[in-house]
Chain A
């Protein structure tokens, strides 16, 4: 699998396939970031498009020797979202992020970056592992309930959950680290 940095460099050279791969990896994290910052789904959808236009345009300025791809993409996305909001004189808003609402600017930025990394890492998981993680962590189902919902043995749920966490650890410790 190509690294983010490789895909950004190829995008900078005009490789549309690489650009589409970046879109698949980052559309959800970008949309999530825009949704939290802008507080409105319609505006977040527009910001998603504008972010990827910015990525396409500025990919040739990416310098891999200065760092990995994920922070660069995060910076481009954050700037595109903020620029869009400023250009329309629209205030930014933090969405339903309770922790962020109570935190200061530094902590909010840290939370945003954390979410970016984790949600990007989730995109690297096989669908069956992502499904188990989603049900276990955000639907608050027990392992038995996940097994029942998916119609798979409990042992398989345990195996997939552990494997998913190991894969996420690899992703987070690697380029995203």
Chain B
């Protein structure tokens, strides 16, 4: 049932012009319907979850890129929880990665399950689309990308999130890399395009 303007608003003392003005707003409210209920995790504005190292403050492009990465992570990061596609993850660690220009990524690491699978969400932006290949996230040992975590594709200019789990842990100081794997053109593990900062 849609109530009339007079049922909603005390019209006593309103001039005709003011009444018409408020009635127009009433009509707009009725036509628009209720606003969407924002999930609690997304009610807060993006949080700064990645601290910028001092040296990067002299590089505006890098700083902007990292803040954008923080925005990607922070938009859904509130109180240590991350929601992605309806699933929630208790975030224990966030690792930032960046490339030579505006390529940025953040890896959110969740608490492991009872058998040691570590849930993670990787969010990437700024990478070009690969026509004949894909990207791969690696853990680095002895300066080389050794343990593959997940492969993914992107569309140019778009941000992308992928959820996965690995049976090994990310610790403070663990180095990560993202490589570009071109089918038939480059040897595994591919050309490095981003590194953890």
A53: which of B21, B22, B35, B68 is its contact (CB, 8 Å)? Answer: B68
Count A-B pairs with CB separation below 8 Å.
136
Partner of A169, one of B10, B25, B60, B83: B25
Q: When the two chains form their complex, are residues A45 and B39 in contact, meaning their CB atoms are under 8 A apart? A: yes
A interface, by DSSP: helix, strand, loop or mixed?
helix
Tally of contact residues, A, Cβ under 8 A = 56
Give the CA-CA distance A97 to B35 in the complex, in Å.
12
Give A residues with C-beta under 8 Å from B.
14, 16, 19-21, 23-24, 27-29, 31-32, 35, 41-46, 48-50, 52-54, 56-57, 83-84, 87, 97, 99, 111, 114-115, 117-119, 122, 133-134, 136-138, 140, 142-143, 158-159, 161-162, 165-166, 168-169, 172
The answer to whether A27 touches B38 (Cβ under 8 A) is yes
Report, nearest first, the 7 A-B pairs whose CB atoms are least far apart: A32-B36, A20-B45, A118-B32, A138-B34, A42-B85, A158-B10, A42-B86
Selected A-B contacts with CB under 8 Å, 20 pairs: A14-B64, A19-B46, A23-B46, A24-B45, A28-B36, A41-B39, A42-B85, A45-B85, A45-B86, A49-B72, A49-B76, A53-B125, A83-B157, A87-B158, A114-B31, A114-B32, A119-B36, A137-B8, A142-B3, A166-B22
Nearest Cβ distance between residue A69 and chain B, in whole angstroms? 17
- B35 adjacent to A119 (CB under 8 Å): yes
A118:B83 contact, CB within 8 angstroms: no
Give the total of B residues in contact with A, Cβ under 8 Å: 47
Determine whether the beta carbon of B60 is less than 8 Å from that of A137.
no
Which residues of B are found within 8 Å of A136, using beta-carbon distances?
A: 3, 8
